[in-house]
Amino acid sequence: MFENLSERLNQIFKDLRRRGKLSEADVDTALREVRLALLEADVHYSVVKDFIARIRQRSIGAEVSKALNPAQQVIKIVNEELIETLGEPERLNLSGAKPRVIMLVGLQGSGKTTAAAKLGRILRSQGERILLVAADPYRPAAIKQLQTLGNQIGVEVFTQEGVLPPVLCSNAYDKASRGGITIVIIDTAGRSQLDQQLMDELSSINRKVPVAETLLVIDAMIGQEALRVAEGFRDAVKLTGLILTKMDGDARGGAAISIRSVTGVPIKFLGTGEGIDALEAYDPNRLSSRILGMGDVIGLIEKAETAFDQEQAQKQADRLMAGDFTLEDFSQQLKQLRKMGPLQQLLDMLPGGLGQAVKNVPQGDAELQLKKTEAIINSMTMKERRNPALLNASRRRRIARGSGTDVQDVNRVMKQFREAQKMFKMFSKTGGRDLSRLFR
């Protein structure tokens, strides 16, 4: 979402780094470009005005003039002020009597039903007992969608045909109280636009059940309109937080930067994809790093920890350090990589120069190569995977036919495998001391 903004800001910072010493005019020129970049990214003008003013005040003072590297100091100031603008992270309020009720509100098409299931999955993994409530009888297939998602994550979905949403929510709360449920997540109805009927229904649900959290689910791709929608809901119901969805979309992304400052409502979660696991706790430090092209290495590590089977990873690590690396290990690593999400998302998390170097490879080509490699290894017998020396010309032709690829593709995979095998043998001999060569 922030790709264009990141590229603009990185070019501005690159120009700053060329200057050994910064004058007030240099700072003003750079900030003028930053202002334009933010406005073009659809950041609210009042937020941009305050943001630039704070940066200028700090950048023309002793903080920068006495720094050993003035350009780096300005970038540091921009990062700190961006984090300040994005707002402090706030977590769900899960204190008080059980069950705690989380009500999701929003317009149609914002991803509310999917967000309910994603949130339920996260809380269930933390040991909570969840009940999803289908309180949207108006949108065709809304109930069926929530039931399908509930089955995916192993969570019960409460529904009652012909019962008005406020009464349905009250009945769901009573059932949860008797059944040992700790958290009730209500998927409320949406509208194509803000209207009084919608707000009256939400207020009625609030009176029927003790709502602990009212989270507005909002589509980050609708730009400045997201601010108007957030203000509309904030004025009608007591919002406690925001879930910004479609943060992986092709949009300018300024709403994500503006929304906390303009509405005063904290962002609590970001939806980063369509997958049921594509919801992450909001962290302004990490979001700022991604906007400024510094990557999100922590987020990448967290994805890896979630996707990788720890026991299997340890066994593979032991074999690697023993110099015993086979095509079977190679195949398992590719499967684990797939679990981490789309390749483009992973590359977006790589920092600066490293990320840019990898991104220079067309993404379609990289995805295709991964699929080809998986298909080629899957076309081998278990014996061939464990003993690649068996792969003569005849066997390679058979593997190429079976995987729908060419013999040249099979040869490419084998060459990559042999290089990786040599590298791990070197590590096993040196006890891993030569690992640093990878990063030179």
Q: What is the dihedral of CA 56, 58, 60, 65, to 10 degrees?
A: -150
The residue among 42, 61, 86 that closes a domain is 86
| 91 within some domain | no
Assess whether 148 and 195 both reside in one domain: yes
Give how many domains the chain has, as a whole number.
3
The pLDDT score that the predictor gives to residue 53 is: 92
Decide: residue 101, CB within 10 A, 0-12 exposed, 13-18 middle, 19+ buried.
buried
Assess whether 360 and 400 both reside in one domain: yes
pLDDT means over runs of 10, the chain (440 residues): 75 77 82 88 88 88 64 82 86 88 91 94 94 91 93 94 93 94 94 80 92 91 81 86 82 76 88 86 82 56 52 61 69 68 56 44 61 87 87 92 91 84 65 42
The residue among 17, 52, 86 that closes a domain is 86
| Structural domain span for residue 316 | 300-439
| 95 within some domain | no
| 81 within some domain | yes
The residue among 294, 317, 344 that closes a domain is 294
CA distance 31 to 35: 6
Buried b (16+ CB within 10 A) or exposed e, 158-180: bbbeeeebbebbbbbbebbeeee
| 250 within some domain | yes
Report the 10 Å Cβ neighbour count for 127.
7
Asked whether 64 and 148 are in contact (CB, 8 A), the reply is: no
Say which CATH number the domain at 22 has.
Answer: 1.20.120.140
Assess whether 43 and 150 both reside in one domain: no
| 173 closest CA partner among 186, 155, 164 | 186
| 261 within some domain | yes
Assess whether 313 and 273 both reside in one domain: no
Assess whether 53 and 126 both reside in one domain: no
| 93 within some domain | no
Assess whether 281 and 354 both reside in one domain: no
The pLDDT score that the predictor gives to residue 102 is: 96
The pLDDT score that the predictor gives to residue 399 is: 92
Assess whether 79 and 210 both reside in one domain: no
| 31 closest CA partner among 44, 18, 50 | 50
Asked whether 185 and 198 are in contact (CB, 8 A), the reply is: no
CA distance 260 to 245: 15
Assess whether 261 and 360 both reside in one domain: no
The pLDDT score that the predictor gives to residue 16 is: 77
Assess whether 49 and 124 both reside in one domain: no
Assess whether 108 and 47 both reside in one domain: no
